[in-house]
Amino acid sequence: MRFPLLSTALALCLPASALAQSTDATDLDQLLVTATRTAVTVDASLAAVEVIDRDEIDRSQAHSLPQLLRGRAGINLVNQGGLGKVTTLFLRGTESDHTLFLVDGVRIGSSTSGLASLQDIPIEMIDRIEIVRGPRSSLYGSEAIGGVIQIFTRRSGSGVHPRLRVGTGSHGLREASAGVDGRSARGWFGIDAGWQQSDGINACRGIGYPFYAGCGMDSPDPDRDGYRRHSLSLRGGVNAGDTLTLEANALRNEGHNAYDSDPAWGLPDNSDTVQQVVGGKLRYVPSERVTVQLVAGRNIDASDNFLQDTWTDRFDSRRDSATLQADVDLRHGQLLTLGIDWLRDHGSVTGPFASFGAARGNRAGFVQYQGRFGRHNLEASLRQDDNDQFGRHATGGVAWGIDIARGLRVTANAGTAFKAPTFNELYYPYYGNPDLRPETSRSVELGVGRRLGSSHWQLNAYQTTINDLITYDIAIHAANNLDSARIRGAELTAGTTLAGWDLSGQATVSDPRNLSAANAGKLLPRRARRSARVDADRGLGRWRIGMSWIAEGGRFDDVANQLPVGGYATLDLRAEHALRPAWTLLAELRNAFDRRYETAAYYNQPGREFALSLRWRPAD
């Protein structure tokens, strides 16, 4: 499938009105903290960033985090059969375990597989999402080769804010959520509970002849593979005087997932899962020039797996982390950040086929400088990690930007990053290799963008070289540091308001090449070389209507590039109607033209789907 992504996005998102020279303080003042671990405006960030706030989440009517992230700049998602099924994310063409995920500042993800369970994070409990594209190991350590994605749970302004939503839809979708937030001058609290259940689709189509266990089996079960989850979020905080703030948060999701397997192999066909994040923060401001904060938390990622009703095995991961950070204003426009990180990973696999247990610690120190000199901005960061498994590792980053004129800005970035081996790669029987080295990378990036009033656009071009990629080595029958890769790409994001329509578009072109001897010149698997997304929304009195067009080019599902997966384009339509000031009826039609497609070979994606929901949210 071929389509002119960049020209399409430019045509739809950069009309003549994009050159209007008005001022929109709301857009300019939107803050993020993930790019530098300090609060900066999106407009001032030297990194390629995107912030998805609660209003945009509500407008999208997405039912899951993967649905919300589809088609966004630099992101490829691979899903194994619809809602609730395993979903992996490739950011800027890097591996699926090369993106660091945080929830309220706490590191998440399985220490055994290295993946974050995106499909299980309840979207109704998210306040905003910050996406930072490009290496950030010099601030966060391992896993941040492709970038960092941080999820913040819901917050509210002053007063008490209750909410309720119920819905239904295709494939037996049923969902309900309720919550309340409250805030006063001295403190705040919040609680949200949610439930979602779907009968699912027949996720696995099979390949017609025996090839391997799993979805590639000869005759997978012709049944629906359902999903359900129950979620709870608690949070609260208190201002203990003028200089001290304490807050705590907890998010827990319990789910059940059904999928296809081959009974002859004795492999599981359903799982009970638990995802939990608990964290706390203490913030101390002894003076106007110094801020100190301590953040600590624990992430649990566990799965009990079954073949019908018979238990087969258990994967268990626990990650404990803590950060002490001090931000010092040296003078106006000059900020120095000093910090230390501590991380302790525990992982185990229990079962008749494979069992192991492991733990390791990591200690790190980092320093960052941010300075503004007239029209110029400079950032520099350095970090040293000391890991029980692979020893010491240093990473660094530098960024520069210049404001030229009339909202035009040019930026340049360079950085190194690394990824520590997972416990599965180190210790899993018949696969693990305890002598593995970390995967390492070097990246450079150039960007240019313009923001005038409610219109903006940004173009970023980058190159990343990755060495010591871990793959299975048939010569030693174990994982080994064999591969290397070079990824080149460009991303365009743009938005404007035209004739009452809020328009935004994103487009990505990428060339992720394998540089390893056996597959030199081949494309890295599961990455589409082209992708685009266009969103349009408009309010019409008591109505609001919108659409999302998402397209991805073809990809390969194997390293030898012998298994192609075709490209596709889908159109989603949505509408809202305010029945009363507090009551809103929402309707959507996803994949309106019933496009049949896959993002992973042999795994079906849902066809046309509808959903209807009712939301109660009293006005502020």
- Taking residues 101-107, report their average pLDDT: 97
Q: What does the block give as tokens for 351?
A: 């079962």
- Confidence band (pLDDT; 50, 70, 90) for 4? very low
Mean pLDDT of 507-518: 93
Residue 2's pLDDT band (boundaries 50, 70, 90)?
very low
Question: By C-alpha distance, which of 537, 614, 530 is closest to 574?
Answer: 537
Q: Tell me: pLDDT of 375 over 50.
A: yes
Which CATH number fits the domain that encloses residue 415? 2.40.170.20
pLDDT at 523 over 70: yes
**pLDDT computed for residue 477 by the predictor:** 86
Going by the DSSP 8-state scheme, the letter that residue 136 receives in this structure is -
pLDDT tens-digit series, residues 6-37? 443 333 343 333 323 333 333 435 889 999 99
**Token reading at 591:** 């994949």
pLDDT of residue 28: 38
Contact 506, 71 (CB under 8 A): yes
Alpha-carbon gap, residue 251 to 257, rounded angstroms? 19
Over residues 335-345, the pLDDT tens digits come to 999 999 999 99
CA distances (Å), origin 461, targets 12, 134, 235, 297, 440: 21, 11, 39, 35, 20
Query: Residue 20: its pLDDT value, please?
Result: 31
Place of tokens 């970090």: 383
The parent domain of residue 496 ranges over 5-616
Residue 512 confidence (pLDDT): 96
Which element (helix H / strand E) includes 142?
none
- Which CA distances in Å does 196 have to 55, 230, 253? 21, 7, 11
Q: Are 534 and 549 in contact (CB under 8 A)?
A: yes
Residue 257 pLDDT grade (very low, low, confident, very high; cuts 50, 70, 90) = very high
pLDDT value at residue 29: 57
In this prediction, residue 321 has a pLDDT band, given cuts at 50, 70 and 90, of: very high
Nearest-5° Cα angle at 269, 263 to 270: 155
Measured distance CA(86)–CA(98) in Å, rounded? 17
Residue 27 confidence (pLDDT):
41
Residues 313 and 355: their CA atoms lie apart, in Å, by 9
What helix, strand, coil percent values describe the chain, rounded to 5? 10, 60, 35
Confidence band for 453, pLDDT divided at 50, 70 and 90: confident
pLDDT at 5: 39
Task: Give the pLDDT of residue 173.
Answer: 97
- Report the pLDDT value the prediction gives residue 31, as an integer from 0 to 100: 87
For residue 447, the surrounding DSSP H or E stretch is: strand 439-452
Averaged confidence pLDDT in the chain? 91
Mean pLDDT of 465-492: 92
Please check the confidence at residue 151 and state whether its pLDDT lies above 60: yes
Residue 411 neighbours by CB under 8 Å, 6+ apart: 46, 399, 400, 401, 402, 445, 446, 447, 448, 449
Residue 318 is which amino acid? R
- Predicted local confidence at residue 56, as pLDDT: 96
User: Quick one: pLDDT at residue 354?
Assistant: 84
What pLDDT shows up at residue 233?
Answer: 97
Q: Quick one: what percent of the chain has pLDDT higher than 70?
A: 92
pLDDT (tens digit, 9 = 90+) per residue, 538-596?
Answer: 999 999 999 999 999 999 998 999 999 999 999 999 999 999 999 999 999 999 999 99
Please say if the pLDDT value at position 454 is more than 90: no
Per-residue pLDDT at 218? 61
| pLDDT for residue 216 is more than 50 | yes
Predicted TM-score of the model (pTM): 0.93
Residue 85 confidence (pLDDT) above 80: yes
Of all residues in the chain, the percent with pLDDT exceeding 90 is 81
Domain count, the chain: 1
Cα-based torsion angle of the residue sequence 516, 521, 526, 527 in order, rounded to the nearest 10 degrees: 120
Query: What is the rounded average pLDDT of the residues 333-359?
Result: 95
Confidence class for position 185, pLDDT limits 50, 70, 90: confident
Confidence of residue 177 (pLDDT cuts 50, 70, 90): very high
CA–CA distance, 521 with 475 (Å, rounded to integer): 22
Alpha carbon distance 43, 23 (integer Å): 13
pLDDT score, position 12: 37
- Dump strand ranges (E) for 106-216: 106-108, 126-133, 147-153, 159-169, 173-183, 187-201
